[in-house]
Amino acid sequence: MQSNVTVADPPLDDQLDDQLDERMLRRRALQIVALLAVIGIVVWLAPGLGEVRRRLEGAEAGWLLVGIALEALSCLSYVLMFRPIFCPHMSRRTARELGLSELAVGSLLPSSGIGGLALGAWALRKGGMPAEHIARRSVAFYVLKGAANFLAVAVIGVLMFVGVGPAVSPLLSILPAGLAVLTIAAVMAVPLGLRRASARADRGGRWTAVAKALQALADGLAEAGEVLRRRDWRVIAGSLGYWAFDNAVLWACFRAFDEAVPVTVVLMAYLIGQLGGLIPIPGGIGGVDGGLIGALVVYGVAAGVATAAVLAYRLILFWLPLLVGSVAFASLRRGLADRGRPDVCEFSPVIAP
Q: What pLDDT digit, counting tens, does each position of 152-168 carry?
A: 888 888 888 888 777 77
Spatial distance between the Cα atoms of 95 and 33, rounded to a whole number of angstroms? 28
Residue type, 284: G
pLDDT above 60 for 343: yes
Residue type, 331: S
Look over the chain and give the mean of its residue pLDDT values, rounded to a whole number. Answer: 75
Does residue 137 fall inside a structural domain?
A: yes
Instruction: Please tell me the total count of domains within the chain.
Output: 1
CB 304 within 8 A of CB 338: no
Looking at residue 67, its pLDDT comes to 94
User: Largest Cα–Cα distance of the chain, in whole Å?
Assistant: 66
Looking at residue 302, its pLDDT comes to 87
Does residue 15 fall inside a structural domain?
A: yes
Does residue 287 fall inside a structural domain?
A: yes
Looking at residue 192, its pLDDT comes to 55
Spatial distance between the Cα atoms of 304 and 261, rounded to a whole number of angstroms? 13
Spatial distance between the Cα atoms of 124 and 119, rounded to a whole number of angstroms? 9
Does residue 66 fall inside a structural domain?
A: yes
Label residue 132 by pLDDT band (50, 70, 90).
Answer: confident
Does residue 157 fall inside a structural domain?
A: yes
User: What percent of the chain has a predicted confidence (pLDDT) above 90?
Assistant: 12
- Range 170-176 average pLDDT: 84
Give the CA angle between residues 249, 253, 254 to the nearest 5°.
120
Higher-pLDDT residue of 41, 301: 301
Element (H, E) at 87: none
Looking at residue 11, its pLDDT comes to 46
Looking at residue 127, its pLDDT comes to 67
- Range 186-205 average pLDDT: 58
Does residue 350 fall inside a structural domain?
A: no
Looking at residue 352, its pLDDT comes to 38
Spatial distance between the Cα atoms of 101 and 124, rounded to a whole number of angstroms? 12
Residue type, 63: W
Does residue 321 fall inside a structural domain?
A: yes
pLDDT above 90 for 65: yes
Tell me the C-alpha to C-alpha distance, in Å, between residue 44 and each of 53, 256, 335, 346: 6, 19, 44, 52
Most confident of 36-50, 96-110, 234-248: 234-248
pLDDT above 80 for 336: no
Looking at residue 106, its pLDDT comes to 76
CB 146 within 8 A of CB 270: no
pLDDT above 50 for 301: yes
Looking at residue 286, its pLDDT comes to 54
Does residue 94 fall inside a structural domain?
A: yes
Residue 169 three-state SS: coil
Total length of the chain: 353
Structural domain boundaries enclosing 39: 2-342
Closest of 75, 220, 216 to residue 142, by C-alpha: 220
In order, the DSSP letters of 22-41 are HHHHHHHHHHHHHHHHHHHH
Higher-pLDDT residue of 344, 89: 89
The 10s digit of each residue's pLDDT in 226-267 is 888 888 899 999 999 999 999 999 999 999 988 888 888 888
Contacts of 184 (CB under 8 A, 6+ apart): 147, 150, 151, 154
Looking at residue 198, its pLDDT comes to 53
For 204, list phi and psi in degrees, rounded to 5.
85, -10
Closest of 103, 142, 135, 140 to residue 121, by C-alpha: 135
